[in-house]
A and B are shown apart, each in its own frame.
Chain A
Amino acid sequence: MTLVEFMISGSIAAILLSAVAMLTFYTGRSFASMANYIELDQHSRGTLDQMSQQIRQTTKLLSATSQKLVFLDHDGSNLTYVYNPTNRTLIRQKTGQPDKVLLTGCDNLEFNIFQRNPINGTYNQYPTANAATCKLVQLRWTCSRDNIYSRFNTESVQSARIVIRKQ
């Protein structure tokens, strides 16, 4: 093999290796993001299902802020959902049961409460500041996971409205 042949083959090999390296890098990043998305969606969906089921069968809302909801549960005990922005967690508290962390890596979470009266020509209900007149609870949160490239590259947003059936 002459020097010229060696240089040409070396250049081709370098180009090919660069292409493979870039593809590997891109694929690795995509795999990391996808794994995060799946994990986030799995947890968010599970939490949403649990909260929907539990809030629907509560008796009424006792107090509410944008980060904390306290319900009177169907069995007469208190059921609380509280967001801790410092720890980025959503926690479920129920009298007589250990606290349960529903969400981790939660960057923001907001509760809103509404009356039952729908607003004409919209899908919205009238908001309320009084827990006693609350019929509808809206949940919104954004969770994210670290990945090796950037933290907010992987985030999942959830939103739901839940009607308190017994109220």
Chain B
Amino acid sequence: MVEVLVAVGIIGIMFVSLYSGFSSGFAVVQLARENLRATQILQEKMETIRLYTWEQLNTPNFIPTNFLEDFYATTNANSGVVYTGSVTIAACPITEAYSNDLRQVTMKVQWESAGILRNREMITFVSRYGLQNYIY
């Protein structure tokens, strides 16, 4: 009887461990996919920053400070995770004389995954005499 109980206990622990491992693996893959999408969203927003002129960049609300994006980019009844984003355009944290000719653009996205709030961000500098002057 003792042997049976011990054996059943060991088998029980093994099965629970096995399926916990599966579950963790699925969660990791899901998070990796959500991370990838978050990176895509940030990249997409960051890509268009170069199209703004210096004046547009410094005009309040010309670039919206908040946005929402779905996990599934196309129209879909099941839009999946919703990403909440923010854009901050601030003075550049440097002490050089040309610091007034630079701005620091910070893009952040937040989403909830498995009950945990996740955050990702990208930061870039934009210069007054830089990218936006390459206009055809």
Contacts and interface: CB of A to CB of B under 8 A. Distances in A.
Interface size class of A (residues with CB under 8 A): 20 to 34
Nearest to A156: B33
B56 A118 contact: yes
Contact of B29 (A38, A157, A160, A167): A38
A77 interface: no
A120 B33 CA distance: 32
Interface residues of B, number: 31
A54 B14 CA distance: 50
Contacts, number: 72
B73 A158 contact: yes
A156 to B, nearest CB: 8
Nearest to B76: A157
Nearest to A133: B136
Interface in A126-167: 135-136, 140, 142, 157-163, 165, 167
A37 B52 CA distance: 36
A116 B44 contact: no
A78 interface: no
B136 A167 contact: yes
B43 A160 contact: yes
B36 interface: yes
Interface of A: 23, 27, 30-31, 34, 37-38, 41, 45, 48, 108, 116-118, 120-123, 125, 135-136, 140, 142, 157-163, 165, 167
Given A117-B51, A118-B62, A157-B73, 12 more contacts: A27-B19, A116-B136, A118-B48, A118-B51, A118-B56, A123-B48, A123-B63, A123-B67, A125-B51, A160-B47, A163-B48, A167-B136
12 contacts: A37-B33, A41-B32, A45-B36, A48-B40, A108-B74, A118-B56, A135-B51, A136-B51, A157-B76, A161-B47, A162-B47, A163-B48
